[in-house]
């Protein structure tokens, strides 16, 4: 349960110093939704003029807050906006109560913060199927509104944690047309993580000026190669939400600007990697690259088949360069492969090629690579030009410990 777990050995050394993004203010509170002795609600307000893009879980059983956010995306940005997130209860699969909880929260937030209700975005993360005690949240919104400040993003990152063992933040500053553009984001998520997108909440703020449809296109494209390219356990949450809010207050117009796109991509990838690094029970961070597939789609299927294979993941946990399991995962994926054209590398160590162990294979070198905390598994399918990269972690006793009694 949250707070009781040791910090992941893969965690960064600390929460980064994030730039202040003009037009955004944060506040957090301990509302006692489920947890005690910690903050569990965060409010962010966004000045008028802020455009908001988003990506959501594609689960057929997505939560009431997700449905509400999806309906609101792309509206007018003339008025201010607010984001309110609680941890401890996901308000997912809660029937009509779920919708009522969303309405109570968005109505109260709109009223207290002076924003239109159609500009209030809410999210909930935690246990599925239990009614959200939303009055514990609504009764705190006045207090939250009174505490709003520009520099509260680190506290916000903490308030949205569930089984996370560390708060996740990433940011950067990039000079565009002589103006400084700031990007700062936070994320939560550690289990039920798989493409499309996982129990993952991500909020990224920037003072760039950009039309909503262009921001949406950027976010969707970068999402495919960041949050949709990580997997902890192949399970996908009903609550996943990524919102990117651009206040425009830097005055820098970033339309079509590659530097901004690259900077945003970098922040998204950094946060995605942090989610994997906090994978439940993770002791290894693993990059899996597949090249030479018939096409990019096939490459991604192979990469995810490797990344999600319990046998590959347990071998990694055991620091065993068990490339036979990589062959197995490629073989079962359903995408095109030819046993005798595969080439497999662990780090820089060539392991297998031409349908068998490489004559250059050195087990001691491969075993040495497996002892590292950050691993690379590269597979060349040998059939075409398709490539993909995904990130995952190993499967350890810690995962079982965390998940065999999450609710107890």
Binding residue for a second copy, selected from 6, 13, 17, 60, defined by CB under 8 A? 60
Angle (nearest 5°) at CA 300 between 296 and 303: 135
Binders of a second copy among residues 215 to 234 (CB under 8 A) are: 233-234
Is 236 a residue that touches a second copy (CB under 8 A)? yes
Identify the DSSP state of 62: -
Position 364 contacts a second copy (CB under 8 A): no
The residues in 275-294 that bind a second copy, with binding defined as CB under 8 A, are: none
Question: Can you tell me which of 114, 180, 356, 374 binds a second copy, judged by CB under 8 A?
Answer: 356
Could you say which of 53, 110, 156, 194 contacts a second copy (CB under 8 A)?
A: 194
Show which residues are catalytic: 199
Q: Are 247 and 24 in contact (CB under 8 A)?
A: yes
Residue 371 binds to a second copy (criterion: CB under 8 A):
no
Q: Is 372 in the site for a second copy (CB under 8 A)?
A: no
Q: Give yes or no for residue 320 binding a second copy (CB under 8 A).
A: yes
Q: Rank residues 266 and 331 by Cβ distance to a second copy and give the closer one.
A: 331
Considering the complex, state which of residue 130 and residue 253 has its C-beta at the smaller distance from a second copy.
130
Six token digits for residue 139: 């009764």
CB 185 within 8 A of CB 226: no
Total residues contacting a second copy (rule CB under 8 A)?
69
Q: Cα 387 from chain centroid?
A: 22
Tokens of 76: 């007018």
What DSSP string describes 136-154? Answer: HHHTTHHHHHHT-BTT-HH
Applying CB under 8 A, which of residues 14, 114, 150, 310 lies at the interface with a second copy? 310
15 or 93: whose CB is closer to a second copy?
A: 93
Residues 76-135 that bind a second copy (CB under 8 A): 92-98, 127-130
Residue tagged 């941890």 (tokens) = 87
* Residue with Cβ nearer a second copy (29 or 192): 192
Q: Report which secondary-structure segment, H or E, holds 296.
A: helix 296-308
Among 214, 235, 287, 365, binds a second copy (CB under 8 A): 235
- 2 touching a second copy, by CB under 8 A: no
Under the criterion CB under 8 A, does residue 274 sit at the interface with a second copy? no
Does 354 interact with a second copy (rule: CB under 8 A)? yes
CB neighbours of residue 388 within 10 Å: 22
28 contacts 203 by C-beta, under 8 angstroms: no
Q: Are 4 and 158 in contact (CB under 8 A)?
A: no
Q: Would you say the C-alpha torsion 398, 404, 407, 408 has a positive or negative sign?
A: negative
E strands present in 90-223 = 120-127, 168-176, 179-188, 201-206
Q: Give the DSSP letter string of 69-88.
A: HHHHTT---SS-EEEEEEEE
324 near a second copy (CB under 8 A): yes
Minimum gap (Å) between residue 104 Cβ and a second copy: 17
- Going by their DSSP bridges, the two strands 168-176 and 24-29 should be labelled as unpaired
Query: Helices 95-113 and 64-72, interaxial angle, to 10°?
Result: 50
Stretch that binds a second copy, among 105-113, 144-152, 208-216, 305-313 (CB under 8 A): 305-313
Could you list the residues that contact a second copy (CB under 8 A)? 57, 59-62, 92-98, 127-130, 191-192, 194, 196, 233-238, 308-311, 314-315, 317-318, 320, 322-325, 327-333, 335-340, 342, 352, 354-357, 395-397, 399-400, 403-408
């Amino acid at each position: 349960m949250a707070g009781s777990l040791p910090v992941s050995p893969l965690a960064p050394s600390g929460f980064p110093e994030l730039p202040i993004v003009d037009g955004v203010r944060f506040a957090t509170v301990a509302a006692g939704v489920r947890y005690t002795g910690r903050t569990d609600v965060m409010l962010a307000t966004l000045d008028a003029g802020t455009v908001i893009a988003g990506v959501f879980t594609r689960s057929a059983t997505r939560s009431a807050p997700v449905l509400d956010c999806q309906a609101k995306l792309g509206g007018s940005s003339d008025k201010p906006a607010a984001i309110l997130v609680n941890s401890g209860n996901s308000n997912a699969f809660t029937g009509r109560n779920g919708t009522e909880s969303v309405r109570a929260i968005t109505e109260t937030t709109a009223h207290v913060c002076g924003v239109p209700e159609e500009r209030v975005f809410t999210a909930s993360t935690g246990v599925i199927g239990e009614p959200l005690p939303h009055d514990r949240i609504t009764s705190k919104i006045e207090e939250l509104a009174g505490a709003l400040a520009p520099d509260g993003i680190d506290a916000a990152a903490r308030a949205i944690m569930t089984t996370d063992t560390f708060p996740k933040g990433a940011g950067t500053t990039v000079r565009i047309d002589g103006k400084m553009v700031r990007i700062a984001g936070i994320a939560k998520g550690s289990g039920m993580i798989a493409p499309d997108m996982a129990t993952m909440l991500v909020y990224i703020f920037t003072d760039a000026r950009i039309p909503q449809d262009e921001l949406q296109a950027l976010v969707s494209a970068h999402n495919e190669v960041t949050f949709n390219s990580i997997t902890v356990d192949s399970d996908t949450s009903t609550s996943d939400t990524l919102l990117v809010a651009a206040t425009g207050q830097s005055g820098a117009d970033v339309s079509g600007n590659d530097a901004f796109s690259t900077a945003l991509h970098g922040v998204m990838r950094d946060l995605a990697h942090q989610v994997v690094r906090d994978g439940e029970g993770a002791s290894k961070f693993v990059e899996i690259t597949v090249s030479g597939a018939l096409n990019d789609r096939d490459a991604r299927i192979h990469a995810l088949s490797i990344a999600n294979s319990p046998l590959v993941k347990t071998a990694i946990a055991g620091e065993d360069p068990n490339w036979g399991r990589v062959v197995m995962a490629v073989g079962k994926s359903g995408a095109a492969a030819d046993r005798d054209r595969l080439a497999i590398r662990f780090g820089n160590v060539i392991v297998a090629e031409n349908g068998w162990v490489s004559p250059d294979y050195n087990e001691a070198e491969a075993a040495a690579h497996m002892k590292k905390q950050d691993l690379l598994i590269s597979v060349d399918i040998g059939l075409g030009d398709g490539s993909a990269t995904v990130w995952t972690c190993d499967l350890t006793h810690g995962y079982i410990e965390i998940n065999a009694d999450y609710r107890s």
